Amino acid sequence: MKRILSGMQPTYQLHLGNYLGALKNWVDLQNAEPENENLYCVVDMHAITVPNDKLNLEQATREIAAAYIAAGIDPKKSAIFPQSAVGDLHAQLMWLLATMTQIGKLNRMTQFKDKAGKNAEKAGLGLYAYPVLMAADILIYNATHVPVGEDQKQHLELARDIASTFNHRFDKEFFTLPEPMIMGAATRVMSLRDGTQKMSKSAESDMSRINLTDTPEMIADKIKRAKTDPNPLPDTVEGLEGRPEAANLITIYAAMNNQTKEQVIAEFAGKQFSEFKPKLSDLTVEKIAPITARMRELLADVSEIDAILKDGAEKARSVAEPILTEVKDIMGFWRG
């Protein structure tokens, strides 16, 4: 049995990258391996690492939970909870782990460099320490597997590193080294405006991403205007090399339709984008519209979501509490 843990930040709306790179895989995993224990949190404590005056954290947390449920995460099979509802335990473990995290390793984290930009001196300690909290989010449950998009691979490696430092220091195989699960055809969905940039919630242009809340008209318009090149689609996957926008659209199609890129290329080889894009639009709308509709229903009366989050938090706490107690015992804290 695997113990699966993953999460998403309640910052803005989820997009196709979050869905294809992570959420869809969580649902597939939940359904394919019913024996697993699944913990899916809304990582609200990470959402405050970059200042955002417009963010309504409570509402955004419910929206992410609604997206999980609407996409197929079943609260009977998976605990869904806000990180902050178990935040006392996550934050306490984070501190303990911070004492065994080397600054040199944090300095190498590319997400910090990207998000802090040129103004790194002014960035908050929370943004810098984010990967240690993420390690605590995983290790507080002794999770065995963490399904994420490719951009989180480096943070996962750090979590494994911290777990291994703890085990060495206290000479005990206590923490399982969590395995990243980078699944599906679309491990890194790129911007619709620039195939070399990751599709991201915080990118300025809304045209660069497809949000899970976009209407069919918006989806069609964004795909129609997505950047491409003048050539027809190639007849081999290798032919996508050096064509980042074409590669991205083929990847999105493949992931959405549970196909390989080879299968998509076989179907569309030699075709113009003017023929491919409407097919991609129809497929995207077909898959996303039911999720959007279910999200709206759930958000119309938040009592159901709140009850699910409360239940999930209780379940998560019951797993985390004994683990934190054991960590503190191993480290030699007074217990009374």
Residue number with CB closer to ligand AQP (39 or 324):
39
Separation CA 295–CA 299 (nearest Å): 6
Q: How many C-beta atoms surround the C-beta of residue 65 within 10 A?
A: 30
Separation CA 208–CA 44 (nearest Å): 24
- Give just the sign of the alpha carbon dihedral 10, 18, 298, 85: negative
Helices (H), 209-334: 216-224, 244-256, 261-268, 273-300, 303-331
Find the part of the chain contacting ligand AQP (CB under 6 A) among 8-16, 88-96, 233-241, 314-322: 8-16
Among residues 44, 63, 137, 151, the one that binds ligand AQP under rule CB under 6 A: 151
Q: Which of 198, 222, 261, 315 is catalytic?
A: 198
199 binds ligand AQP (CB under 6 A): yes
Among residues 83, 152, 208, 211, the one that binds ligand AQP under rule CB under 6 A: 152
First CA to last CA distance, the chain: 35
In the structure encoding, which two tokens stand for residue 317, read together?
């706490």
Residue number with CB closer to ligand AQP (21 or 234):
21
Q: What is the CA radius of gyration of the chain?
A: 21
Q: Total binding residues for ligand AQP by CB under 6 A?
A: 18
For the segment 86-145, give every residue that binds ligand AQP (CB under 6 A): none
18 binds ligand AQP (CB under 6 A): yes
Among residues 21, 82, 180, 312, the one that binds ligand AQP under rule CB under 6 A: 21
DSSP string, 304-316: HHHHHHHHHHHHH
In the structure encoding, which two tokens stand for residue 304, read together?
């159901």
9 binds ligand AQP (CB under 6 A): yes
Active site residue 271: no
Q: Which of 2, 115, 227, 287 is catalytic?
A: 115
11 binds ligand AQP (CB under 6 A): yes
Residues of this chain that interact with ligand AQP (CB under 6 A) are 8-9, 11, 17-18, 21-22, 148-149, 151-152, 188-189, 198-202
Annotated catalytic residues are 115, 198, 201
